[in-house]
Structure 1
Amino acid sequence: MTSNASSTSGAPFGPLEFQLVLLRRMADHQPELVDDARKELGVSLAGMREANRRWQAMVRAPRARGALSRYRSVLGEPELTFRRAVGDLECDALLWPVPLWPGLRFEVMVAPGGAVWNEWLVRAPGEAGPELRTGEDLRPWSCTVDEVARAFPPARPMQGSAPTRMRLAFTLPGGGPGVADFTWGLLQHWSAQPNDRYGA
């Protein structure tokens, strides 16, 4: 049974609606997985579109609150907050649960001064990630950017087609190059590349 009440413009925008925003950005890559997840949440296609419209309106509003305040207002207080060194910077990492992916957390990295400079899905602390040994292990929605980069070095980030998307050039077992596409930090698909590309 679908429920449109939680995604109408008059209802509060909370964790359910935020998950719909994540799904909306993944639909171009994995429409069938997104459709299954949306049905699991009990929301219609129109409800998912409405949630994304409301999110975009919040982000683009002339007097929009800062990104961190927006996440707090939508997701509540983070489940976990800790300091993390990124190069020479000491940043705050804030983690929220994402019921659709129990083994993952939505991470927001906050630089000194309060600016949000990264927001994506990561493996939850203490959760074992998948064993990534070959390209066959790289299944959609199974792993994060960091997990692929660690499993198949050397790897380097590449520009994605949208702010929530990124690509990762990595090295397959045997030395062949591959490129993986991620949305909100979650693997959507990958492909092997000709050996003369990406500096291989």
Structure 2
Amino acid sequence: MTFGVRQFELALMHRMRDLAAARVEDALKAMGATRAELRQAHTQWTAMAHSARAPKGRRAFLAALGPPAYEGERRVGSLTCDVARWALPSWPGLRFEVLSGPGGEVWNQWFVRPGGGRALPFAELTPWSCVVADVGAGFPGASHIEGAAPHHWTVGFAHEGTHYRARFVYGLHQRLDRADDDS
């Protein structure tokens, strides 16, 4: 079975179900996909990551997604990493970005907005509409917090005197919680 863009999107959605199960269910219906197909895509992506024969690092993304829409370099401190970005049909206007090191090892993978974060009004912080950089751009003093699971990320910020936690999976906004509701 081949692994392409559709399967990759489903593999991403498998992890997104952790925080936005209803949104993922809606996306599956729109794609004409089943929960079984979602699980199979996740299983296949995970198996490829652990297979001795499957491509690794950046090459795995190239094999699944084809040539990136954008390639470049970015300096992060004293390191230079390669940047590759792909457009995915389920998230128009955003790009899936892979940052990799000199040997092709993946340092980070997440959704970004081309051109950088855009300051969105609070009312527009809706699931699957924004990325980590958007919250940072829109809410000065936002703090980044590692998520509770792989590929999860949280950004804490205040709006009109109330503290919030924006929850992300692969850098894509999934849910907004009041900070005082945290457990």
Q: TM-score scaled to structure 1, two decimals?
A: 0.82
Matches within 5 A, 1:155-166: 155-166=142-153
Amino acid at match of 2:75: A
Separation in 1, partners of 2:115, 2:65: 19
Matches within 5 A, 1:37-186: 37-62=27-52, 64-125=54-115, 129=118, 132-134=120-122, 136-174=123-161, 176-186=162-172
Provide the identity percentage: 39
* Alpha-carbon distance, 1:180 to partner: 1.2
Separation in 2, partners of 1:177, 1:185: 20
Residue matched to 2:16: 26
* Alpha-carbon distance, 1:166 to partner: 1.1
**Could you report, residue by residue, the CA deviation over 1:10-32 in whole angstroms, capped at 9, with x for unpaired residues?**
x2111110000111111122222
Separation in 1, partners of 2:96, 2:124: 23
**Could you report, residue by residue, the CA deviation over 1:28-61 in whole angstroms, capped at 9, with x for unpaired residues?**
2222221121122221111111111111111123
Structure 2: segments with no counterpart, 5+ residues: none
Question: Displaced runs of 4+ in structure 1, greater than 3 A?
Answer: 62-65
Residue matched to 2:7: 17
Structure 1: segments with no counterpart, 5+ residues: 1-10
Separation in 2, partners of 1:27, 1:66: 25
Q: TM-score scaled to structure 2, two decimals?
A: 0.89
CA contact (8 A) 1:108 1:120 kept: yes
Q: Which has the larger radius of gyration?
A: 1
Separation in 1, partners of 2:23, 2:45: 21
Separation in 2, partners of 1:64, 1:158: 33
Report the secondary structure of 2:33's partner residue.
coil
Residue matched to 2:175: 189
* Alpha-carbon distance, 1:125 to partner: 4.2
**Could you report, residue by residue, the CA deviation over 1:64-96 in whole angstroms, capped at 9, with x for unpaired residues?**
532211111111111110122222322211001
The count of residues paired between Structure 1 and Structure 2 equals 181
Report the secondary structure of 1:84's partner residue.
strand
